[in-house]
Amino acid sequence: MKLVIAPRSAKSRKFPITLDLAGTPAAVKVEDVQAAIAKQFPQLYPDRQRLTVEKVALEAGKTLADYGLNDGDSVTFKDLGPQISWRTVFLIEYGGPLLIHPLVYYLPSLFYGKTFEHSWMQTVTYWMVIIHFLKREYETVFVHRFSHGTMPFRNVFKNSAHYHLLSGLNLAYWVYGPWNAAGTAAAERSDALVYGCIALFAFAELSNYHTHVTLRNLRPPGTRIRKIPRGYGFDWVSCPNYFFETLSWLAVSILTMSWSAHLFFAVAVGQMYVWAVKKHKGYRKEFSDYPRGRKAMFPLIA
């Protein structure tokens, strides 16, 4: 069959082109079309391609017949630009705080012009942050399975800014400063408060990890299969991983009582809620038997 690849931009010098594909629309898959385009233009590898029919994106694994395409029809092509894997993006994002926090914590003279003894609050906060991001790096390498393999390379800078600046430099500089050093009134915390925050953080981190493992086990390796997640956390909300991460940063915010921690908490929770609502709506649209009682992110609330 023949398939016309039309450009999204009228200024394109490569397209339109006509592909001669072996098979019927019911046999030719989207990835066959992508491979044929990449064969003619090697720089346009499949992850860099976006193919649409009437603004509906074609998904790998489906056939042309699934989109009502027949011999001689056309699809629209968009070059997404150079790509980078999501796994690499996550490693870069979480690597920022893992570099910034030790630098600020262990080299105070570099950032504050003097040395001082850290308070218990500062030390506990430091290890909370380090453990959180080490866990995230571990999950990126050994737990997560990504439904989308890549993203535009230019987005890595925007995505990393949230972690490198807000949870990295912003949090580290204002929490580990001499105004919170040992012996200062600002650093005084009761044992009950400190141990309570540690307990909340540990519960949240372990629960968050459990939900990530549940999501991993839903998707066999090398596939993009989607199923309804069930079990611990998922009986309450669609995105318990976001809810439990909210509790982790709530523990940090309460422990530090720092405006910088409150700022990161507000921004992070707001962003996670936006993602949760989007995923919640996607689940309900995709699965007709999706549990109606679930909320998006906050149990019994929203």
Predicted confidence pLDDT, tens digits, the chain (302 residues)? 999 999 987 788 888 899 999 989 999 999 999 999 999 999 999 999 999 998 899 988 899 999 999 999 999 999 998 999 889 999 999 999 999 999 999 999 999 999 999 999 999 999 999 999 999 999 999 998 876 678 888 888 888 988 999 999 999 999 999 999 999 999 999 999 999 999 999 999 999 999 999 999 987 776 667 899 999 999 999 999 999 999 999 999 999 999 999 999 999 999 999 999 999 999 999 999 999 999 999 999 99
- For residue 229, the SS3 value is coil
Q: What pLDDT sits at residue 148?
A: 66
Long-range interactions of 249-255: CB distance < 8 A, separation 24+? 250/200, 250/204, 251/128, 251/197, 251/198, 251/200, 251/201, 251/204, 252/125, 252/128, 252/129, 252/197, 252/201, 254/193, 254/197, 255/121, 255/124, 255/125, 255/128, 255/189, 255/193, 255/194, 255/197
Distances (CA, A) of 185 to 108, 180, 245, 257, 258: 19, 8, 29, 12, 13
Q: What pLDDT sits at residue 153?
A: 86
Task: Tell which CATH architecture fits domain 2-80.
Answer: Roll (3.10)
Q: What is the reported pTM?
A: 0.85
Return residue ranges of the chain for CATH 3.10.20.90.
2-80
| Structure-block tokens of residue 19 | 């592909």
Beginning with the edge strand found earlier in the chain, give each strand of the sheet holding 49-53 in spatial order. 17-20, 2-7, 74-79, 49-53, 56-57
- For residue 122, the SS3 value is helix
| Cβ atoms of residues 280 and 238 within 8 Å | yes
Asked, as a colleague might, if the bond just before 221 is cis with ω within 30 of 0, I would say: no
DSSP 187: G
The residues with which 18 forms a beta bridge, in sequence order, are 4
